[in-house]
Amino acid sequence: MNHFKTQAMTFDFIPQNTQMAMLGVVALLISASLICFVLRQLQPHKDHQELRLRINSWWLMVGVVFTALLVGKTASVIFFAFLSFLALKEFLSIVPIREPDRRVILWLYLAIPLNYYLVYIEWYGTFIIFVPVYLFLFIPFRMLLLGETKGFIRSAATYHWAAMTTIFSISHIAYLLVLSSDVNPKGGAIGLVLYLGFLTQFNDVAQFIWGKIFGRHKIIPNISPNKTWEGFVGGVITTVVAGCLLAEPLTPLTWQEGLLAGSIIGLAGFIGDLTMSAVKRDLNIKDTGNLIPGHGGILDRIDSLTYTAPLFFHFIYYLKY
């Protein structure tokens, strides 16, 4: 039963495996920067501006995330709460909003600190139902008080989906950080976040590269014309292999369980990416924002995480904690 009890995480000691993983990410970024520099020298006639912007943004994003993770538990939870705030703000800026609903939206923003407070104090039983149950029931009730029925169900669904995606899903990453490190001495809590974050982003990159090289057969061209079966299968297989290799150094999973974790992240990341693409198609926009140069908006960058974070969290929580 002790495995199901979590305790506050301290950062007095970062496992060596986690330190090496973080250095490995930095090494990948250095390699990407060098490749970009060489390409610009060898192909001066081509425009490499987007690639340069993407790499520079990755440096900034990795720097911010690593800093938050290394500073401590409180800073990490606050960071992911702020990420949820930015994601919710961006989402609400691209969807149609009824004028009277601005008083309802205020409660969505107020739900963020409360949700992350539940994470911080490790109140799992309430955290797991706060957004899916309590906020789900409260949103339409607060809308009723406005006395506006036109567009009621569409708006209620929009706000609940926004809360589930930008608050509930992302907060599972923060909850990984407060799980007991005793169960995962090799990688610690940070190791779990690195495993999830790296595999999710690696899956996106792998599917893109495999699709560029071998892509022939489109999956759902009406939603994402660049997604191909070749890219999907190649990316998932690559992610499964990486999940297997990184499982034992960074997580309490065996390499066999790492195969399953990699499969979950590969498939869920693909679905999360496609889901946000469908949203953008519906709204007739290319990107959800322009906050991250070369990448678009916050939602463009965390779309896969909205699916992989809760699924990976519950997989590892029920298996090991």
Residues of the chain with pLDDT under 70: 1-13
Tell me the whole-structure pTM to 2 decimals.
Answer: 0.91
pLDDT computed for residue 290 by the predictor: 86
CA distances from 56 to 20, 49, 87 (A): 22, 11, 21
Handedness of CA 124, 125, 128, 132 (dihedral sign): negative
CA-wise closest residue to 312 among 221, 208, 212, 197? 197
* CA gap 222, 136 in Å, rounded: 31
pLDDT computed for residue 10 by the predictor: 45
pLDDT computed for residue 13 by the predictor: 61
CA-wise closest residue to 9 among 194, 250, 174? 174
